[in-house]
Amino acid sequence: MAEASTPNPPGRRGTMTVWAVAALGIGSMVGAGIFALLGQAAVLVGPETWLAFALAGVVAALSGYSYAKLSARYPSSGGITLFYEKGFGRGVLSGTLSLIYLVTLAISVAMVAKTFGAYATRLFLPRGGHVWFGVLGSLIVIVLAGLNAAGSGAVGRAEVFLVSIKLTILVGLLAVGLWSMSQEGSHHLTEHLDLGPAAFVSSVGLCFFAYSGFGMMANAGADVAEPRKTIPKAIYLAIGVVTLLYVGLSITVLSQVSPAELARDADTAVAQAARPVLGNAGFTVVALGALLATASAINATLFAALNVSTALARAEQLPKAFSTPLEGKSTRGFTWGVVAILVMINTLSLGAIANIASATFLICYLAAFVACWKLSRQTGASRAVIGTGLVLMGIVLLTFLASTARKQPVSLLLVVVAVGGSALVQWLLKSRHHPELPHSQPR
């Protein structure tokens, strides 16, 4: 097993509440979403950005339903990796999907850290070059990796604090934007791009990445007192809050700033959008909110990566170094992973990372739908709801991959490398641990 599926071991008291778990999801989604992707989404679909985020929220809600059912039945710090094992058996397929998910988490940390570096540079070093994006992004990863090593209680308390502050700032920006719309109108929202349905559906795939952080909440299953009740409530709460926030901010931001202007400052789009209404002071406040948002996203994602990597090592799907303890909850393999993330921060472009991570997240979450379908009797999930989500996500994934093949073939190649490389590593690990069985049989 990737992780025990019992709620909590005897004598162990869960340290995370519904709000703490929801804060992990909100922190990850908002940090990886509205601050990192709004500018890029605006370039693709212009004023229809709000609709793309809304439809991506529908897909995320359906996926969240499967997650909630699986998490309630199989609470675990391994999260989605245990769902794969339960749905597909312990073999190369489940192991490959788990490794793809772990790689995706690492890439996501690199992307959000680079966004943190961009906002920090624009705020504190306005004349600094792009090299500072990597330097400051690396610094925040090192600090938050140390926080995660302290344990889940510290992570949960930090997330509640960070999320509370950044939501206050974003709700304030939303309120000011709505007031400005009522006074001056929203002429930018009347601009329309000549989009085909395929291009719009592809944009939904990119926007889905902004919701992908809800999966992190499943990894808290072993750290709450009543996971069967707490995890589903936290998932629904987090997705609902974030959907409303994304749609509202997309409307208000695009009403104040044209897509072309956002494209010029895509790395710091939300803060740039505050200038027309609030001036330089507004830029500063929102940029500070962006730093908190991206920091909490990194914090939540590192928390998930630590739990996933430990669970995979115990299941012999990663080297034992990933379960060899160091200080606190950290492991030797986690330290290696942090080093790899630092390398990515300083070598990969933000656009390429976003496309690769969006595709691999869609693949992982599509597989979770299939696992939930197969386990519907055990989880009590509705196959009608699962099937609807499965079809919608499948359409979004295929359309997104086709669009990426046309516009950024290198990104598609890297997706293939990530998937194929994960399969190869998993096959080699299985052959090493079980030489007489190239594939472990499902239980």
Q: Which two three-digit tokens encode residue 381?
A: 């999930």
Q: Per-domain residue ranges for the chain?
A: 18-433
pLDDT 10s digits, 65-97: 999 899 888 887 667 888 998 999 888 898 899
What is d(CA 381, CA 287) in angstroms, rounded to the nearest whole number? 41
Length of the chain equals 443
Q: With a cut of 60, say whether residue 12 has pLDDT above it.
A: no
- Give the mean pLDDT of the chain: 79
pLDDT 10s digits, 191-243: 555 567 777 888 888 888 889 878 878 777 667 777 778 888 889 999 999 99
What is d(CA 371, CA 436) in angstroms, rounded to the nearest whole number? 27
Question: What is the structure's pLDDT at 160?
Answer: 66
Of 108, 75, 375, give the one whose Cα is nearest residue 229.
75
- Looking from the CA of 17 toward its CB, the CA atoms found within 13 Å total 6
Confidence grade of residue 150 (pLDDT, cut at 50, 70, 90): low
Q: Which two three-digit tokens encode residue 339?
A: 């080093």
Contact between 366 and 394 under an 8 Å Cβ cutoff? The reply is yes
Question: What value, to the nearest 5°, has the Cα angle with vertex 173 and ends 171 and 177?
Answer: 115
Which of 192-206, 356-370, 374-388 is predicted with the least confidence, judged by mean pLDDT? Answer: 192-206
Q: Which two three-digit tokens encode residue 267?
A: 């790395």
Contact between 297 and 112 under an 8 Å Cβ cutoff? The reply is yes
CATH architecture assignment, domain 18-433 = Up-down Bundle (1.20)
Q: With a cut of 70, say whether residue 185 has pLDDT above it.
A: no
DSSP state of 195: -
Question: What is the structure's pLDDT at 151?
Answer: 60
pTM score: 0.80
pLDDT above 90: percentage of residues in the chain: 21
How many C-beta atoms lie closer than 10 Å to residue 127's C-beta?
A: 6
What is d(CA 371, CA 70) in angstroms, rounded to the nearest whole number? 9
Of 2, 147, 214, 158, give the one whose Cα is nearest residue 87.
2
Question: What is the structure's pLDDT at 182?
Answer: 64
